[in-house]
Structure 1
Amino acid sequence: MSFIKIIRPFNCLFVAVSVLFGAYFSSMQSNLSAIIAAAISAALIAAGGYVINDFFDLRIDVINKPNRILPAGKMTPKTAYIYAVFLFWIGILVSILTQNIYCIGIALLNSLVLFQYAKKLKQSCLTGNILVAYAAASTFIFGGLSNNNVKNSLVIASFAFCYTLIREFIKDSEDIGGDKVNGAKTLAVIVGEKKITIISIIPAIIIIGLIQYYFFNQQLMQTTFIMLNVFVTIPLIGFFVYLFRKPVKSSFAKISSLTKLNMFMLLIIIWIGK
């Protein structure tokens, strides 16, 4: 059970769905075998990323999240490290089945990025946040490439990048206690919780701006545009109003989950609209 729980199966499923969505959004004519291979590859690499992140975060998680698999002693650090490397390599090997050199390249790059992020870049100011946002956005691009058409998937990737940045900034605020103890130089540690909340508004504004931009460039139908503003824009504004009124750790965790739900809602609406 620990081997399943540590890979965050729901998150890995979301990664696989993101690849499928990127492929579907890029073209209605699908290369099914390549798309499925891409989805499995991305999920495995993401799983490896979660495990290696827990491995390098063990000292911090003892303070911030003691109930996780490694701090709770349900798996040894050595086992976790081997498991992570195994998942990365299987993910890379599966990417070969896409028969697309760009997909294989992204699989290799993302495995390296996730490893280096967990090892040292996570504790650096802003760089780690941007790398995670790239990794999230790249899943949609990965899907588009597997279907030999990446142009349209860039639209969704831009949203994913901004949503992930919001969640990264909020997560930094949530983990600020353990990060300070372990000397991590995250953006939240450097600027403080109040300022990081303000900074996290920037990608939210970009999301709202992108919705308007894609509509006025005739990439969204009017009905889709209205639904996005009602079910995505308005709730997103509400999240930050709530966060400013109640800037405590429990609020950060709640808003992080709601932001993920908000992105899921955006994807559903765009899927229906297409």
Structure 2
Amino acid sequence: GTATVDVEMLLWLIGASVFIAAAGYIINDYFDLNIDLVNKPDKLVVAKVINRRWVILWHLLLSLIGLLLSGYVSIKLDSYWLTIANAACIVLLFIYSMSLKKQLLSGNLLISLLTAWVILVLALAEMHSISTEPIAIQEAHRKIFRLGVLYAGFAFIISLIREVVKDMEDREGDRRHGCKTMPIAWGMNATKVFVAVWIIVLIAVLLVLQVYVVSQFQWWISALYCVVAIVVPLLMVLRKLYPAQSPAEFHRLSTMIKLVMLTGILSVVFFYFYI
């Protein structure tokens, strides 16, 4: 029935996002070649793994696949905003790689917004066919949409934190190539304060949400998971943030934040049981 179509469409949409993200990653590496030679010479994908001339081709190919998948979903759902929005994502990722990432904060914000968009697009697709369905199903869809918005918010904040931590890690290569990232423009201490504030905001919101779900729905297990798998690691990042100096230390923090992203996304599983 419609449930399988929904799942199928969501999977196609996720596929589209993956291809578009991969295309963005490749083009980003292409424009970053000189910076990466300083920051991470051992991890270069472009030039070592893929010839530079082929990079643009791969970028176009992956972008095209992402667009075609978006188009397929658009036709099936009869809503063309999906394709337009994903096309905009491709263009924005290209602009980001070419120039925005060298600017103060705008690149960080763009990547964070695009990360949130990947989740939000699923929530919006979920809301798509709501008007024709029975009231009970409409309510379920609305719940899923609200969840999607919450997760998109989480994705935005955690991505912003990670992007700025990565800027701290990459500051040497960035400085040599005239990038005006936050650690270069504001200095390391101010940047650490910026990151710390966002971590505290995220922890506070998560804790408030846990109090709410426990008091309203008695979701003890999900609350416990959130505290142990998301809040505690964030507190560890917060504790290690200020003393961190070397790129290796910031890299470790970045990896920890990536793990928090993962545990955050995995918490979706609880809603499968609870809703």
CA 127–89 in structure 1, closer or farther in 2 if over 3 Å, else same = same
Match of residue 48, structure 1, among 23, 41, 56? 23
Asked if 2 retains the 8 angstrom alpha-carbon contact of 1:62 and 1:71, the reply is: no
Retained in 1: the 8 A contact 2:233–2:256? no
Q: Which residue of 1 aligns with 2:85?
A: 106
Instruction: Name whichever of 28-37 and 188-197 sits farther off.
Output: 28-37
Q: TM-score, normalised on structure 2?
A: 0.83
State the match for 1:64 in structure 2.
39
Quick one: distance in 1 between partners of 2:267 and 2:100? 34
- Select between 245-254 and 157-166 the one with higher mean Cα deviation: 245-254
More helix by share: 2
The correspondence for 1:94, drawn from 35, 60, 69, is 69
Q: Provide the rounded CA distance (Å) in 2 between the counterparts of 1:260 and 1:164.
A: 9
The separation in 2 between residues aligned to 1:212 and 1:152, in whole angstroms, is 16
| Paired AA for residue 19 in structure 2 | L
Instruction: State the Cα distance separating 1:227 from its structure 2 match.
Output: 2.6
Structure 1 segment 22-37 matched on structure 2, within 5 A: 31-37=6-12
Gaps of 5+ in 1: 1-27
Decide whether the 8 Å contact of 1:55 with 1:70 is kept in 2. yes
Is 1:33–1:98's contact at 8 Å kept on the other side of the alignment? no
Match of 1:260 among 258, 261, 272: 258
Is the 1:61–1:71 Cα contact (8 Å) retained in structure 2?
no
Q: Is the 8 A contact 1:194 1:247 kept in 2?
A: no
**Correspondences of 1:92-241 after superposition (within 5 Å):** 92-99=67-74, 100-147=79-126, 148=128, 150-218=145-213, 221-241=219-239
* Conserved? CA contact 1:98–1:146, under 8 Å: no
- Percent identical across equivalent pairs? 25
Residue in structure 2 matching 1:80, options 55, 59, 68 = 55
Residue 211 of structure 1 and its aligned partner are, at CA, apart by 1.3
Question: How large is the RMSD of aligned CA atoms in angstroms?
Answer: 2.1
- TM-score under structure 1 normalisation? 0.83
Does the aligned pair in 2 maintain the 1:137–1:157 contact within 8 Å?
yes
* Cα deviation 1:174-216 (Å, max 9, x = unaligned): 1100111100111111112232122111221221122133345
Report the 3-state secondary structure (helix = DSSP H, G, I; strand = E; otherwise coil) of the residue aligned with 1:245. coil
Q: Which has the higher contact order (CA 8 A, sep 6+)?
A: 1
- Alpha-carbon distance between aligned partners in 1 of 2:99 and 2:8, rounded to the nearest angstrom: 36
Where does structure 2 lack aligned partners over 5 or more consecutive residues? 129-140
Q: Counterpart of 1:16? A: none
> What residue in structure 2 maps to residue 14 of structure 1?
none
Shift of 1:122: 0.5
Deviation sequence 1:114-135 (CA, Å, 0-9, x none): 1110010000000000000011
